[in-house]
Structure 1
Amino acid sequence: MSIEFKKLSHTYNEKSPFPYVALQDINLEIKEGGFTAIIGETGSGKSTLVQHLNALLVPTSGEVIVGDYVLSASKKAKELKKLRKRVGLVFQFPEYQLFEETIEKDIAFGPKNFGMDEEQAKIKAREMLKLVGLDESYLERSPFDLSGGQKRRIAIAGILAFDPEVLVLDEPTAGLDPQGAKEMMNLFLKLQKDYNKTIIMVTHDMEHVLRYCEDVVILSKGKLVKTCDVISFFKDEALLKELKVTPPKVIQFKRALRDVGIIVDEDNYDLSKLALQIKEVISHE
């Protein structure tokens, strides 16, 4: 399902004495079936941008096109249920998504809302709970009694339960320990590779961008700075410096090697393969 932003702008409190321009004239296409990272400093407009994808926000001007659905400033949004079935958004703060008495009810809410009967929705809740790494003992617990990381897993399970074509993730690993974050990122990658989901991820984690993503969208002060593939982005040292982006550790390591005269394969970002290359370079000196 294609996704395109055409001259999208969004102003908060537009008719108040204190308007705030969050996005300005964004022209952007998101690759269908791809894994795209959206990055930028705090306040750059990342969350505002992705909330247009299922009409939580509507354009002040311009258009958002999701498949055959057009969201524009000039037309009132209609058939939102149809759009939100296709685009699932996991909020940055899971508390914004959790509201039911039990975890089972919370995860089952989406499928029931989109027409699944109650028994099927309960089965789906169990499946999704397992998928995000939690067992059935959580089903009858309150989602508000969980840790931050567990709440995030439940919020993700609730979105996955209604099987959207596009999965939008706003800082999806915040609050998770390193192992939990790795498990979640591998799950998102599996959804993209094996089930052809389009994954769009807002993140500050450059390690995840390098390891999992294919393309990068860079925002700054509400404007689109650049779109490119991940490798091209991390090779652009001037841009990284301008954006004050700290590159992933493997790239820092390769730069340190370069500074002492050890040149390795420019396109190799695998530490084990780098170790073999370093050994080979040193053995020939």
Structure 2
Amino acid sequence: MSIQFEKVSHTYSVDTPFSYAALVDVDLDITEGKMTAVIGSTGSGKTTLVQHLNALLLPTKGKITIFDRVIEAGVQPKKLKSLRKEVGLVFQFPEYQLFEETILKDIIFGPKNFGVSEEEAIKKAREVLKLVDLDESYLDKSPLDLSGGQKRRVAIAGILAMDPKVLVLDEPTAGLDPQGSIQMMNLFKRLNKEFGKTILIVTHDMEHVLNYCDDVVVVRDGKIFCKEDVHAFFKRNSLCEELNILPPAIIQLKNACNKCGMNLPDDCFSVDELAKAISKQVKHHE
């Protein structure tokens, strides 16, 4: 396992009247090379969890192993610069990450900070901007001139320019229209499959979880409720109900058909699969 949490807790405002335990004794293995969804209700601890991956937050208890590094409570971590090159974090609000006068300066800031020459950094900026479906005309624009969706694409480009092994995305499609969401998720899938990036996505969108992710981690009240293969997770209808999670539309339709007397198999996760299963049921009853 490339990333492992061992009995990790995180408490905000320790030793104050405002002390709050956001994570409690978290044990978690994140599989390298997969797309993993991190889900849970608002305030469950999802964002706190992923912000430990590049030491933006440090554990108040326990330890985290990230590749060959160990981050342990009470021990000042070393080599944070190289860790943050390997683990890129894109915030939910991209404007937090855009601070330069132009898009070009924003994208090349990271690579130059890690010792890449300006010429090479500019070349990389052009490559990653194309990767996020923006043309080179954006390089001279100010971040202030961009829409919310364009800002998110530029923020992702700035992280990709550093070529991280792990890409952590907090609600990456929030505020995007349906077409923009699909384009963004397809980009992440491509980065995972073609470029071998380990992807973690904090999301409330169960359609994205089912259609793009391999594993799902459920965070509940600061603890890991479960980690499962995505298909195994959505086969458990009672679990979704318990967690107050609205399943993807295809799962809802399958459940509705079963309530009407059909006996559709658990492994229908696409429209084609469901249509074939329904057709078989209908022919069987003719």
Report whether the alignment pairs 1:208 with 2:208.
yes
Q: For 1:191 and 1:207, how far apart are their aligned partners in 2? A: 19
C-alpha distance in structure 1 between counterparts of 2:238 and 2:281, whole Å: 28
Counterparts in 2 of 1:1-285, with a 5 A limit?
A: 2-284=2-284, 285=286
Q: Structure 2-normalised TM-score?
A: 0.96
Please report how far the alpha carbon of residue 144 of structure 1 lies from its aligned counterpart in structure 2 after TM superposition.
1.8
Kindly provide the amino acid, as one letter, of the partner of residue 265 in structure 1: P
Q: How far apart are residue 124 of structure 1 and its match?
A: 1.0
1:82 CA displacement? 1.0
1:266 shift after superposition? 2.1
Letter in 1 for 2:4: E
Partner-residue secondary structure (3-state), 1:185: helix
Identity, % of aligned positions = 62
* Worse-matched range after superposition: 118-127 or 245-254: 118-127
Task: Provide the TM-score with structure 1 as the length reference.
Answer: 0.97
Please report how far the alpha carbon of residue 170 of structure 1 lies from its aligned counterpart in structure 2 after TM superposition: 0.6
Could you tell me how far apart the structure 1 residues matched to 2:121 and 2:46 are?
32
Runs of 4+ displaced beyond 3 Å: none
Tell me how far 1:184 sits from its aligned partner. 1.1
How many angstroms apart in 2 are the aligned matches of 1:28 and 1:146? Answer: 38
Counterpart CA distance in 2 for 1:144 and 1:45 is 31
**One-letter amino acid of the counterpart of residue 44, structure 1:** S
- Provide the rounded CA distance (Å) in 1 between the counterparts of 2:166 and 2:11: 25
Amino acid at match of 1:200: L
Shift of 1:26: 0.2
Distance 1:45 1:280 in 2: 44
- How far did residue 281 of structure 1 move? 2.6
One-letter amino acid of the structure 2 residue matched with residue 125 of structure 1: A
Offset of residue 130 of structure 1? 1.0
CA contact (8 A) 2:235 2:267 kept: no
Structure 2 contact 39–203 (Cα < 8 Å) conserved:
yes
Q: Is the 8 A contact 2:23 2:222 kept in 1?
A: yes
Shift of 1:268: 2.1
Unmatched segments (≥5 aa) in structure 1: none
Amino acid corresponding to residue 142 of structure 1 in structure 2: S
Offset from partner CA, 1:202-228 (integer Å, 9 cap, x none): 110000000111111111111111111
Deviations 1:69-110 (A, max 9, x none): 111112111110110111000111101111110011111111
> Displacement, 1:257?
1.1
C-alpha deviations, 1:185-211, integer Å up to 9, x for none? Answer: 111111111222111111100000001
